[in-house]
Structure 1
Amino acid sequence: MPFIALSSATLWGLPYADTLLISYSLLIVTFLAGMLWSMSLQYQQPIWLVVFSNLIMLASWGLISIHNMPGIFYAISVLFIALYLVESFTLKDLYPKGFFALRSQLTFVAVLSLLTTQIAS
């Protein structure tokens, strides 16, 4: 899994591993926000979900431009957790069976990798 590999590479001090972890993480956050946007429109959910998904995307794009910010891995973790919580309260039952369980596990691994990297650096 890229999160574990890039987090490990960052902790080992490999050049540019931290930048790759930030970029990959924000790419995934943006993809998940786009998925929330799509599901919100497809299932005629409240408009605030569309606005929320766009705010997450804008936050991701903002963070990629200041990738050397102290606490960047905390900030990205907050985006992952915010998306997960919103989806778990609004769209969880609309996803195919088993999808949200997998999504939960992957989000846990991503956040754990990001927080480990932040704490260790």
Structure 2
Amino acid sequence: MTTPRLPLPRRHERTRVAIDVTVNGVLNFVEGRITDLSEGGARIDGASMPARSRCEIHYGGQVVYAVVMWSEVDRMGVRFPYELTHGPLYNALDRARVAALIDPAQIFHGRRTVTFGRRGLN
């Protein structure tokens, strides 16, 4: 009798993003959007390739290699054999994590000029 394997906890924190990318499979280029990203993998909506296939993710002049772990009709989850440590995709992940820490009201408050009234009269 074998005991069921429990899923291992994720090593990296996933972050919600919206990054348009091009995914290169064996025979085609597919446009997609990364909606969930970490140093170890991503979820790509709008693109689908067979599970266990290899692909390249093109973003900002960088190519990131990935393996499709699961696939549905309109989305897939990929794992990066080499963790993200630098480059445009890592920078986008870093920016998204910093933005998630800032309260949304503070983002707009910092950009507003100090004026009086609706027309900005001083």
Give the TM interval when normalised to the shorter protein: under 0.3
Larger fraction in strand: 2
Larger fraction in helix: 1
Q: Report the TM-score, using the length of structure 1 for normalisation.
A: 0.26
Structure with max Cα Rg: 2
